[in-house]
Chain A
């Protein structure tokens, strides 16, 4: 099946620093990649959608200058949390979509736990 990886799985950073999270589709080329955020005991919230070579589309309320998304290839997307603050501590999950005929299945990575101290 389609596999999506994320790196790192856990990261701790100091307030004010930036941190980059990578999302890779390992055995398929993803037409679209998605970034979700999940706070404790809450559901996944979509942050942004990106297509390779295009600017990401951000959901309402998500600061595009704070959460920088780069989708440089069909197998790699990165999310950079700039000037991180403790309230950015969350579980970040990426998803990659494989378009095949009428199927646009989304496959999810294992998530990255970000803790900002």
Chain B
């Protein structure tokens, strides 16, 4: 699976949009971009995934660049409960999830 690069940490004010970037310049054509998050001392939680089109669900939006070499996860109105480590993972649909270091997002009042 392709590797990803994420900033180690980001801050966001409560109520503002949180935009978390991810670089995956070696992504292959059949690899999806997945986002998970892990709140402290809990198991990872699925957020969203996409192949090449932008995706939106009740939790977040995923914007994938046209060349698919990078993506951005958008939490439109961050709350304190969104404080977590966010993992961007690139995988073919049948491969096991492999976690990198992720981005620690701290949402402050």
Contact = CB atoms under 8 A, between A and B. Distances in A.
B99 to A, nearest CB: 4
B99 A107 contact: no
Contacts of B97: 34, 95, 106
A45 B96 CA distance: 11
Contacts of B95: 104
Contacts of A103: 93
Interface in A68-117: 91, 93, 95, 102-111, 113
Contacts of B100: 43
A109 B36 CA distance: 13
B42 interface: yes
B95 to A, nearest CB: 8
Interface of B is mostly: loop
Sort chain A's interface into a size bin.
Answer: 20 to 34
A45 B93 CA distance: 19
B98 to A, nearest CB: 7
Contact of A108 (B41, B45, B94, B98): B45
Sort chain B's interface into a size bin.
Answer: 10 to 19
A27 B42 CA distance: 20
A108 B44 CA distance: 6
A106 B46 CA distance: 9
B101 A43 contact: yes
A50 to B, nearest CB: 12
A81 B87 CA distance: 28
A49 interface: yes
A44 interface: yes
Interface in B49-85: none
Given A49-B96, A95-B43, A95-B97, 11 more contacts: A6-B43, A43-B101, A44-B99, A46-B98, A91-B41, A93-B44, A106-B46, A106-B97, A107-B46, A108-B43, A111-B42
